[in-house]
Structure 1
Amino acid sequence: MKSRLLVSFGLVLILFAPGLGFAQSKGDAKAGKLKYDANCVGCHGATGKGDGAAAAALNPKPQDHTNGKAMKALSDKYLFDIIKDGGASQKKSPIMPGSGKKFSDQEVWDIVAYIRSLAK
């Protein structure tokens, strides 16, 4: 009887836990958009296509965040690290600055969530 009750309780917990907030994503895309708009559009562009005002002068060109195929190949951890530590940390462009202490880890995850929302 006890084992049956425990199994039932476990199933209820599994079914309803996501609605209780236990299965939320790491970042908030809406908050990330605000940081992105203030810090990333100069190179990556307002729509994330890598066509910001500074992009023409950059080599290599900034990542196109709307390219679904390319973005799927990049893990969330990779995006977090390149935003936090800069391009050189991931053997990419040293021109890409890291946020260092400018953003909290949560703010970086918010930017990652926003970037993910751009990919088609």
Structure 2
Amino acid sequence: MEDTLIRRAILLLGMFLALEAIGHGKEAFALAPADPVDGKVVYNHYCVACHGPQGNGQGLAAPAMFPHPANFTDPNLWKGRSDAFFINVITNGRKRVMPPWWDVITAQEIQDVYAYVKTTFKPK
């Protein structure tokens, strides 16, 4: 009897944690490899207004923003910053500079949009 209650409690806890993760926009499963093609779609929908079509931080909304959006074509932006840094900024935002996106786009879309930004705008 006690063994059955423990099993049920563990099962319910697992279900709760999975639903909680999904409810917060987090994936409860492994992500596919990042796809810059899919990331371009996400970028053009959510990011282009601030960061611009050339990724230079000169989107239509940029003049009204301070601080200005990141310029992905600037080599200094990338110096000393890891992929994890950029994924974290997209996911959780950065102070007053950028809003968090974890509750707007999926974890897969975050990976995809970062792949697009990195492969398209990062100086070689």
TM-score (norm 1): 0.69
- 1:54 deviates by 1.0
| Count of residues in correspondence between the two structures | 91
CA RMSD of aligned residues (A): 1.7
Q: Which residue of 1 aligns with 2:61?
A: 54
The residue correspondences of 1:16-55 to structure 2 (distance < 5 A) are 26-55=33-62
The structural deviation recorded for 1:47 is: 1.1
Amino acid at match of 1:100: W
What residue identity is the alignment partner of 2:122?
A: A
* Structure 2 counterpart of 1:48, one-letter code: G
Please name the residue that 1:110 is paired with. Answer: 112
Q: Following TM superposition, by how much is the alpha carbon of 1:45 offset from its aligned partner in structure 2, in angstroms?
A: 0.3
List 4+ stretches of structure 1 deviating above 6 A.
none
TM-score (ref. length: structure 2) = 0.67
Shift of residue 29, structure 1, vs aligned partner: 0.8
Give the equivalent residue in structure 2 for 1:76.
Answer: 83
Gaps of 5+ in 2: 1-31
1:119 matched to 2:88: no
Once residues 68 and 112 of structure 2 are traced to their aligned partners in structure 1, the CA distance between those partners, rounded to angstroms, is 23
SS at match of 1:53: coil
**Unpaired stretches in structure 1, ≥5 consecutive residues:** 1-24, 89-93
Q: How far off is 1:26 after superposition?
A: 4.2
Q: CA deviation at 1:100?
A: 2.0
